[in-house]
Structure 1
């Protein structure tokens, strides 16, 4: 109906004419009168959505995702808000719209802009990251030029809420999101705390901030009663956009989140070289040889995966006496994965193929994860534990050289109670001046103790599950390595 009649349409079928609402406060009062059983948070959410619809400027661009299809329509508002009482219920709040293009492929839109269009809200505003210029380019040129600038985070959680109330969504990085509550690492406790804080404010994050890298973008939006149902109906419900009484219900319980590694948290190659089936096979050879690639994704004009060329697929084609074109040598069923997938569920595919082509929800290639990437991660994540283990072993060996009566009193008490000394407690051993003299180590005592303090804090940090590799603690890793060098010299 929107496309056929040149309109954008909002639902809220129980709500009458909004023309008399001169302010957002007037609109809020009307909503309270019509929906007395709704929560204040839901009414606030609806108030901002409808005020956006009421006050959008003639000439503004509007984007409408097409249900059942991987395309969007883009139009330009051609008239003010109207209430058409003679239309069917649910189709009365309208704005005249000139639809400029009706079939923009979603894959032609960069992921950040696509994500900002995927809010749980009927009406949200696309304001940041050059959205208007990029949508104009989609209309005029058929492609999204993207955005490479930084994203300035909100100042605090209240500012995040204000931004979402104003525009409907807010994009920021997981690093900035957890930073709003003073955290820098995504441990189990931090993840649970931030999830609770977001839920208390009626906010949801897509994708979840634990399933991508610290500096990727996530989109935060508001949820209302019934949003889960509304979200599920995006591709199945032909009803008009907006609130419908049938969509209102209690929110479904949040699933229990597991804390396994997600593919999206790994630093795989994201600036991917690709080819198309129409490219010359020599171009594939050139890319693979000069960049030492073992595989090259084959994509369509919008970046959707259509296959992969590997040295193995080239060899098989040659043995079969074919292999003159990309189409002939490509494996058209490449191993693919999504960033939100749990890593260890795909390890077998990595072992078998040596790589996974990473794609988004629209099958656009966003990266390539290789077995070499996993090996690099294994070193990053395992090395700190091996360093710490050897540090503790050498400290223990040092302690075993002394009779208990020769140890500081506090250390003797610890041994009598627990039988062992923790890494944090070794400071009390080595700050004893008499024991330090007897060690005759050629180091400055205070410098050694300072190094031990850094390593102790690092040990406490890595003892807790953390989605981020210890490379974020590179200085602490190096401090541990330096302390170990000292101990290797004397123990």
Structure 2
């Protein structure tokens, strides 16, 4: 969406009354800014434009599941929140920052998928059929969306049938663990690992979704892969700089505004400062890489921007394009700076 159309859309949303407020998903909100995920910069831009339009989102668009429905709610002019646009200098200083991680249970996609279940009075055959149809390892047993009675699993069915080949569904029901969708995920990991799965309860006490150990494994892979790629990129790049540059030349690349930090090697530079160091033609020659400097610096800047998004943390996984940028660059560096 172009800026003029978005401005008109936000103005219309701000002019509405409480009876006809604009509702849309977080994903749809991002599309208004031509974005697919909530990176650091796009969240800041969206928040600023919402503030300027006199709008807020309920619930918060920044940290809920991406397909959560939100409401654009007008706020009083005197209650506007003034955000500060990050400068290039502040971005460089945050190159080394640790992420402000607040991953909640309902950030997992599976925690927001409608739970299919059976009632206690249905047959065990019906439960088995649903489990096979949807390739489930467990199935909710409930009397309505807020009344979870337990679950059946292939293990509990097998145990019930060992005791009685004609056992009804009620004999295969097991107790289950529940967590709130608003809970921080990390403290809940031991419970999920121990139980194998937990049901997620929404604010209105409805059964919101289910999280399994397989979901945790996928989430770990989605979050950890970029960190490992970035760590390898920085390790190889800093090692090359340390081997080719004298200490005083490395130190000269430090941001002059950062007066408190000592730079003794490339390990003390931010990635932005590494870019500044290598973007000087004379410095570039010291690397002794027969490459086009501008092409390399452009690719390294792409990596730096992805790094800043990763380290500021987003509840959304990186886009395939961003992962491809990291993967391509690390494979490039492996050829330029191989391990001996």
TM-score over 0.5 (shorter chain): yes
How far is 1:358 from its partner? Answer: 2.4
How far is 1:174 from its partner? Answer: 2.7
Question: 1:302–1:364: 8 Å Cα contact kept in structure 2?
Answer: yes
- Are residues 1:275 and 2:125 paired? no
- Are residues 1:213 and 2:65 paired? yes
Give the match's secondary structure for 1:293: coil
- Are residues 1:315 and 2:161 paired? no
Question: 1:322–1:328: 8 Å Cα contact kept in structure 2?
Answer: no
Which of the residues 455, 470, 487 maps onto 2:303? Answer: 455
**Cα distance 1:188–1:259, how it changes in 2: closer, same or farther (>3 A)?**
farther
- Are residues 1:481 and 2:322 paired? no
How far is 1:486 from its partner? Answer: 0.8
- Paired residue for 1:167? 19
How far is 1:452 from its partner? Answer: 0.4
Give the match's secondary structure for 2:141: strand
- Paired residue for 1:294? 137
1:106-147 CA-to-partner distances (Å, cap 9, x unmatched) read xxxxxxxxxxxxxxxxxxxxxxxxxxxxxxxxxxxxxxxxxx
Rounded Cα–Cα distance in structure 1 between residues aligned with 2:38 and 2:115: 28
How far is 1:201 from its partner? Answer: 4.8
Rounded Cα–Cα distance in structure 1 between residues aligned with 2:285 and 2:52: 57
Rounded Cα–Cα distance in structure 2 between residues aligned with 1:314 and 1:199: 57
Rounded Cα–Cα distance in structure 1 between residues aligned with 2:291 and 2:41: 38
Rounded Cα–Cα distance in structure 2 between residues aligned with 1:432 and 1:196: 37
TM-score between both structures, scaled by the size of structure 1: 0.51
How far is 1:439 from its partner? Answer: 4.4
How far is 1:213 from its partner? Answer: 1.3
Larger Rg belongs to: 1
Rounded Cα–Cα distance in structure 2 between residues aligned with 1:414 and 1:222: 46
How far is 1:368 from its partner? Answer: 1.6
How far is 1:168 from its partner? Answer: 4.8
Rounded Cα–Cα distance in structure 1 between residues aligned with 2:6 and 2:177: 36
Question: 2:197–2:211: 8 Å Cα contact kept in structure 1?
Answer: yes
Question: 1:272–1:367: 8 Å Cα contact kept in structure 2?
Answer: yes
- Are residues 1:158 and 2:11 paired? yes
How far is 1:197 from its partner? Answer: 6.0
Give the match's secondary structure for 2:68: coil
How far is 1:290 from its partner? Answer: 5.5
Give the match's secondary structure for 2:328: helix
Which of the residues 241, 244, 257 maps onto 1:399? Answer: 241
1:189-226 CA-to-partner distances (Å, cap 9, x unmatched) read 95899499679958672x443453122202355689xx
Alignment RMSD, CA only? Answer: 4.0
Q: Determine which structure has greater relative contact order: mean sequence separation of CA pairs < 8 Å that are 6+ residues apart, divided by chain length.
A: 2
- Paired residue for 1:360? 202
- Paired residue for 2:263? 418
How far is 1:484 from its partner? Answer: 0.8
Question: 2:66–2:316: 8 Å Cα contact kept in structure 1?
Answer: no
TM-score between both structures, scaled by the size of structure 2: 0.71
Of stretches 445-454 and 265-274 in structure 1, the one that deviates more from structure 2 is: 265-274
Give the match's secondary structure for 1:470: coil
Give the gaps of 5 or more residues in structure 2: 77-99, 255-260
**Cα distance 1:426–1:301, how it changes in 2: closer, same or farther (>3 A)?**
closer
How far is 1:351 from its partner? Answer: 1.6
Rounded Cα–Cα distance in structure 1 between residues aligned with 2:55 and 2:48: 11
- Paired residue for 1:107? none
- Paired residue for 2:317? 470
- Paired residue for 1:103? none
How far is 1:394 from its partner? Answer: 0.6
Of stretches 294-303 and 259-268 in structure 1, the one that deviates more from structure 2 is: 294-303
**Cα distance 1:223–1:404, how it changes in 2: closer, same or farther (>3 A)?**
closer
Question: 1:191–1:210: 8 Å Cα contact kept in structure 2?
Answer: no
Rounded Cα–Cα distance in structure 1 between residues aligned with 2:72 and 2:214: 33
- Are residues 1:382 and 2:227 paired? no
How far is 1:316 from its partner? Answer: 3.5
Question: 1:188–1:465: 8 Å Cα contact kept in structure 2?
Answer: no
- Paired residue for 2:178? 336
Give the match's secondary structure for 1:393: helix
